[in-house]
Every structure is written in structure tokens, then in C-alpha cells.
Amino acid sequence: MTTCATDQSASAVRPWGLRRMTETLAEEPQPWRTMAFDADTQLTTFYDANGAIVDMQRGTVTISPGGTGSDGSGTNPKVADDSND
Amino acid sequence: MPPSPTTVLVVTSLIDVTANMVIEVLNHRAVRVARIDPADLGSALTFHARIGAGRDAWDGRMSTPSREVVLGEVGAVYYRRPSPWRSDLADSQARQFVITEARHGLSGLLRTLPRCRYVNHPAATERADFKVAQLEVAAQVGMKIPKTLVTNDPEVARKFAQENDPVIYKSFRGVAPGADGSVSTIWAQRISSGDLDDSISLTAHLFQEEIQKTSDARVTVVGRSVFASRITTRDQSLDWRRGDWGELVHDDIDVPDALKTRLLAYLDAFGLTFGCFDFAVEERTSRDSGTWTFIECNPNGQWGWLPNCDAIANAFADTLLEGW
């Protein structure tokens, strides 16, 4: 029993580096509501809730969706990944 | 290079705004661009490729709703940030099968296109993504690097921290979301030996001596072109990424000529054509080019927020189209 208890407490230890993380970051509101892809130019354009074009060029975020440091699909969990800066 | 290249393949997700900047320049230069996201494989992306029977290189086609791409006409690949693989199938075994087979079949092809210029080749990006590899190559091409320790041994970590006080801890890759989906991050941070404990042993940790920098420099190298910005934060932050990026102050900074040569040697060592380097700069006087210490190089880094982003986008186009 003692061994079991020790194992349980050992498995609950969090690695030192992980305890250096920040508090939960406030989720930044997505600056755009809809996106359109232009078949001719292969460019995407982003629009806000009022249908105005959002200038997305500046202010690249440090927190991206995806599991591979990707800027990919918004349906994926957001990950603060070092590959993203 | 194919005999008559016509097309630049841009491998990235739809929401990648940085790729838009390069595509815009390519459009101005009247070059055909095909934007594909491998994760679209299915009705939004079909492909076939053949080899053998007299062919010693893959030939075939890729089709998206807006582009038909003959592989032999692709002269360059701008490999940016494709979406993570996905599958809507309910069964997890089937989902995993779909993703693994797609990764090997389609991504395998995308990294094997004959005679193409890659910016960057994904295999080169993967190799150059390891901070451990970065530091060694930087040292070998003659850059100054911080004294660095990688370990899971608490005693070795404590000793390093005592001897080099204050030291910096940084994680290799950041941190995945919590079980509840909450997002946190781990900034590069100053620590002392008293902060350390035995849970160091659970995984690898990276410690570095602190460089007494007066500013940071972001140096973006595309092909043979070098673009540099000095970055200062209002609060002299150790890690400039932690604040509001809109508050960062950027100004021009000259990269010493000897360092430029080393930057190119670094990229060559990894087979990269592009990289975003971070340096800690110690300037003593305003006329002094200072001491530049290599911090890291992101082989797929962001540059869209930099003041010279238009020139960088043009350099990407120059590099992709070189020799056409």
C-alpha cells in the first residue's frame, strides 16, 4: 500500500519547467468574423462583423491554433508554441 | 528546375496571412500561384503521381477547386504553415489511418518534387527546429552563443545556476493547452539555483547564462538578403514576445559584415534558404555595432509584423523565382 501511495504521489509531480508557465492567458478575440478565398489571386481576405476588411498583416499573434506550430484551422485547440514567432 | 517552370506551389493554410503577402508579390509579377493545404485532401484536394516505366522522377497532377497543377511545371515550393492533418471519420482507427497514409503519400510527394526550389524544404525546417542543433551550428559557423546547459540532472542544473547567476530558463517548445482548453506559455525567464528542485529530473531543461543586452535584434534572411530590426520593449523585458507586439519599438540596425557571412553559413549548414534569427545585442555607444549573441533561429518564423515586411515579401519572390 505504501508503495502504491508513493507511486501515486510521484506521478502527480509536475516537471519543474512546466511550473514556470504563466497563469492562463486571456483569450484574444479573433479579429475577423469571415474569410473569403479568391480563386483568381489565391489570396484570402478577412472581414469583421460589419463586413469591413480587416488588415491582418501586422500584429501576428504568438498563440496559434494547431498542434504543429501551424497557423491552421481555427477548429483546433490553441497552442502557445515556440515555433510561432 | 523544370524545363519551363510556370507555377509556384504555396503549401499553407487559408488563414495564413503571411503567405498572402508573398502571393501578392507573385501576382504582381504575373507568376501563377497554386495555394494548397494538404489537410484538404479529399474532395477539396485530389492528386495522382506516377514513377517508373521510363520515369525516374514523379510526374502527375494536383487539383483544387481553383487550380489544376502539373507537377512538372512547379518550379518552386513556398512551404509555409499547412493546417494540422484532420479527418472527420468517426472511427479513431480509420482516422489515424487516413492521416498517416496522407502524410506519407501526399506530404512525401510534396517534399520530393523534382528540380524544385524549396523555401524552405520541410526536412531542413525540421532539422533546424531543434534549439540544441541551432546552438551547435551557430557556434561552429563562428557566432557568439550564450553558455548553455541542457539537462535533467538537478545537481548539474543547480551548479550551473550557481556558477552563472543569474541564469535564464526557457522551454524548448512551449506548453500544450490544459485539460480544460486553457492556454498558458513559458517565457524565457531569469531564475536562481534556489528555484530549482528534483522535478528537473522528469524531463529535459535548458538553461543559459544571461546576456546583458541593450536590445534585441531580429534578423530575417531570405536567399542572400539580410533584413534587420532592433527591437526594444518599453519595460526592458527579457523576452520581447511577452508584451503587446503593438507596443514594440522597431528601428533599423546594421548587421556587422562578418556576421552576415556567418548567417548565410548557418542557413547553408541546415540547407535552409530562409531563417528568422534572434540576437541579444550589447551596444556600448550609438556608433558601435556591438556584440551580437545568437539566441535562436526559427526556420519557419514570422516576419509579417516587421516594418520592412514589404521588402521581405519581395525577397521571398526573388528567391522563389531565381533562375526562371
* B54: region left, alpha or beta (phi > 0 left; psi from -120 to 50 alpha): left
Instruction: Determine whether the interchain pair B202/A15 forms a contact, defined as Cβ–Cβ distance below 8 Å.
Output: yes
Mean pLDDT of chain B: 94
For the four alpha carbons of B87, B178, A4 and B203, in that order, the dihedral sign comes to: positive
Cβ-nearest to A85 among B23, B181, B241:
B241
Q: What is the CATH number of the domain that holds B23?
A: 3.40.50
**Range scoring the smallest mean pLDDT among A40-44, B137-141, B181-185, B225-229:** B181-185
Q: What is the pLDDT of residue A84?
A: 63
- Cα B199 to Cα A73: distance, rounded to the nearest angstrom: 35
The 3-state DSSP class for residue B100 equals helix
**pLDDT for B46-80, tens place per residue?**
999 999 999 999 999 999 999 999 999 999 999 99
> In this structure, is residue B69 part of a structural domain?
yes
Higher local confidence (pLDDT), A69 or B76: B76
Nearest CA in chain B to A36: B14
Same structural domain, B192 and B219: no
* C-alpha to C-alpha distance for B300 and B60, rounded to whole angstroms: 28
Contact B174, B185 (CB under 8 A): yes
Q: How many domains does chain B have?
A: 3
Contact between B218 and B231 under an 8 Å Cβ cutoff? The reply is: yes
Question: Is residue B178 located within the same domain as residue B232?
Answer: no
Q: Which of residues 25-84 of B touch A (CB under 8 A)?
A: 27, 33-35, 37, 39, 65-67, 80-84
Judge if B219 and B194 occupy the same domain: no
Q: Is B24 close to A43, i.e. CB distance below 8 A?
A: yes
Kindly state whether B177 is in contact with chain A, defined as any CB-CB distance less than 8 angstroms: yes
Cα–Cα distance for residue pair B129/B135, rounded to 1 Å: 11
- Mapping DSSP to helix (H, G, I), strand (E, B) and coil, where does residue B228 land? strand
Query: Does residue B105 lie in a domain region?
Result: yes
pLDDT for A76 equals 37
Share of residues in chain B with pLDDT > 70 (%)? 98
Q: Which three cell numbers stand for residue B251?
A: 528601428
Nearest-by-CA chain B residue for A59: B305
Residue range B299-308, pLDDT digits in tens: 999 999 899 9
Q: Are residues B106 and B54 in the same domain?
A: yes
What local confidence, expressed as pLDDT, does residue B147 receive? 98
Could you tell me if B300 lies within 8 Å of chain A, comparing CB atoms? yes
Q: Give the CATH number for residue B190.
A: 3.30.1490
**Which domain does B23 fall in, by range?**
7-119
Q: Is the pLDDT of residue A73 over 60?
A: no
Residue B322 lies in a domain: no
Q: Do A21 and B175 touch (CB under 8 A)?
A: yes
Is-contact B26 B320, C-beta < 8 A? yes
B3 to chain A, minimum CA–CA distance in Å? 25
Same domain, B266 and B287: yes
Chain A, chain B: beta-carbon pairs less than 8 Å apart = 166
Same domain, B12 and B94: yes
Tell whether B297 is covered by a domain. Answer: yes
Q: Is B151 on the interface with A (CB under 8 A)?
A: no
Report whether pLDDT(B288) > 90: no
User: Could you tell me which chain B residue has the CA closest to the CA of A72?
Assistant: B83
Percent of chain B whose predicted confidence (pLDDT) is above 90: 84
CATH number at residue B286: 3.30.470.20
Q: How far apart are CA A51 and CA A38, in angstroms?
A: 16
Query: Cα–Cα–Cα angle for A25, B299, B301, nearest 5°?
Result: 40
Contact B304/A at CB under 8 A: yes
B200 or A68: which leads in pLDDT: B200
How would residue A82 be classed by pLDDT, with cut points 50, 70 and 90? Answer: low
- B109 and B57, same structural domain? yes
Q: Residue B20: list chain A partners with CB under 8 A.
A: 43-44, 56-57
Q: Which residues on B lie below 8 Å from A15 (Cβ)? A: 199-200, 202-203
Label residue B209 by pLDDT band (50, 70, 90): very high
Shortest distance between the Cα of A49 and any Cα of chain B, in A, equals 17
B142: pLDDT strictly greater than 80 = yes
Q: Residue B74 — φ and ψ, nearest 5°? A: -80, 120
At B126 the pLDDT is 97
Lowest-confidence region among B65-74, B98-107, B279-288:
B279-288
Residue B73 within a domain? yes
Mean pLDDT for the stretch of residues B262-274: 98
Closest residue on chain A to B308 (Cα): A58
Residues B240 and B268 in one domain: yes
Test B84 with A17 for CB contact under 8 angstroms: no
Q: What is the mean pLDDT of chain A?
A: 69
* pLDDT, position A62: 37
pLDDT of residue A23: 87
Residues B173, A74: C-beta atoms closer than 8 Å: no
Residue A4, pLDDT score: 45
B106 touching chain A per CB within 8 A: no
What pLDDT is recorded for position B2?
65
Q: Which pLDDT tens digit goes with each residue over B25-49?
A: 999 999 999 999 999 999 899 999 9
Is residue B179 a part of any domain in this protein?
yes
Contacts of A37 in chain B (CB under 8 A): 14, 66
